[in-house]
Amino acid sequence: MPGQMNAAAWGLLALLSVIWGASFFFAAVALQGFPPFTIVLGRCAVAALALALACRLSGFALPRGRQAWIVCLGMGFLNNALPFSLITTGQQYIPSGLAAVVNAATPVFGALAAHLLTQDEKLTAHRLAGSVLGLAGVAVLAGPAAFAQGNELLGILCGLGACLSYGLTGVWSRRIRRAGLTPLAVATGQCASATLMMLPLVLLLDQPWTLPAPPATAVLAVIGFGLISTALAYWLFFVILARAGAANVLLVTLLVPVTALLIGSLVLQEVLLPRHFAGMAIIFAGLIVIDGRLLRRWS
């Protein structure tokens, strides 16, 4: 039954957290050979091709009609092109683990966006308290960087911009059901739309034909970015969504920073400061309060 977390669902959730946690690692490696916009273009293009093939093999129809493609264009901008570009740009200035910690604030921005832009998802007392906690965690996370014009502040601001974009995605995604789109079709359409959006930016700004030949590791990272951390991740996300419900699948937000921190420290030898861990702990506390289920169980 949807809404229940059994052992299989927890296993899939843990796998998804590893895959999305690895996305920050893929970005760090890809940045050694490509500029950010080119990485995002490669990621979205590879994912779009893989998801289109999955639609063809599984018999799902691709998006058709004006309304469906308007939905996909909005999703492609808010859920792919803009946040992917901001996160990848930000990772030029901050470690991959810290980028993942900042990204954990997404549900806070989602709750605030829903409150401001919808009529039926207003902040309750516990969601308001959780949002305040989450924003406090972001403040602790930034620490002295908030009062300086350094690279770390720029990286954190890019990450927070991506959180806001993801939060707005939650409001825009309400149109998916009205357009009659299946989840796999939406994933394919948004990645294809993001690819079309990123292509002129890459041709105009990055001019890939002028870049030096990238190392093989960077090329493999972009391919892994698209196949594993985007196409496969979307498929897993929708499988968990169907089995366990929306509230449970969002628990992955608590796990992704942990896996990204582990990968960053073990593979990339990244080092984070105590305030980064303190900010993450406060953000996690805010997410738990927003979710509300643990609080109800404790009470």
Residue whose structure tokens are 């305040």: 132
* Average pLDDT over all residues of the chain: 85
pLDDT tens for 206-215 read 998 899 999 9
pLDDT tens for 113-160 read 888 887 777 777 777 787 788 778 878 876 776 566 568 889 989 999
- What are the C-alpha distances in Å from 242 to residues 107, 111, 230, 238, 249? 20, 22, 18, 6, 9
> Is 70 exceeded by the pLDDT of residue 22?
yes
Confidence of residue 73 (pLDDT cuts 50, 70, 90): very high
> Is 80 exceeded by the pLDDT of residue 247?
no
- The CA distance from 45 to 65, in Å, is 22
- The CA distance from 273 to 142, in Å, is 11
**Domain definitions of the chain by residue range:** 7-298
Among residues 231, 244, 243, the alpha carbon closest in space to that of 23 is found at 231
Q: Note the pLDDT of residue 68.
A: 92
Single-letter amino acid code for the residue at 139:
A
Alpha-carbon torsion 123, 283, 231, 249, what sign? Answer: negative
Among residues 136, 135, 77, 85, the alpha carbon closest in space to that of 106 is found at 135
Mean pLDDT of 16-37: 93
Phi-psi region of 140 (alpha: psi -120 to 50; beta: other; left: phi over 0): alpha
Q: Note the pLDDT of residue 146.
A: 57
- What are the C-alpha distances in Å from 258 to residues 54, 151, 254, 287? 30, 23, 8, 14
pLDDT tens for 96-106 read 888 888 887 88
Q: What is the pTM of this model?
A: 0.85
> Is 70 exceeded by the pLDDT of residue 294?
no
Single-letter amino acid code for the residue at 38:
T
Q: Note the pLDDT of residue 119.
A: 77
